[in-house]
Structure 1
Amino acid sequence: MGKPILALAAAIAIAGGLIGTGSAQQGIGAAGMGIIAEKPEKFGQVLFFFVIPETLWIIGFVLGIILLLDIL
């Protein structure tokens, strides 16, 4: 494939991962702050659920690198 098409595909993969992470974390963050305000002992659970969407941008970044390096 051509380099410009691969670069565009990598940009879309990374942007999709970042947008997905942001949209997932906006609801989790707001709800999490409410839970922590009422029950501070739930901080660990809230942090865990806040970190789970971070895997979306990691997957998008790895896919972008795979596309840019033309590995697959």
Structure 2
Amino acid sequence: MATSKFLFGLLLLLILVEMNIIEQPWMPGVEAIDCSGKCNYRCSKSGRPKMCIRACNTCCKRCQCVPSGTSGNKDECTCYANMKTHNGRPKCP
């Protein structure tokens, strides 16, 4: 009986966090940015836009920032600039 109450409470907590009704304690005061919009603009001049957008969205979600412009300016977001692929190449466009 106690286990089912615990699981119900945990499920309710997860739902509330997912719905952003309660603040997420691991990211206090940090608002999520519009990764989709920023990455669509960042990759608008890319030769491979789908791949660029996929990589950019991954980087944006982890770093919560996207450098301004369509290329360069990575000094604005060090997390974004320092992310690497498994091969050691820069991950973020």
TM over 0.5: no
Report the structure, 1 or 2, having the larger helix content.
1
TM-score by length of structure 1 reads 0.39
TM-score by length of structure 2 reads 0.34
Higher relative contact order (CA 8 A, sep 6+): 1
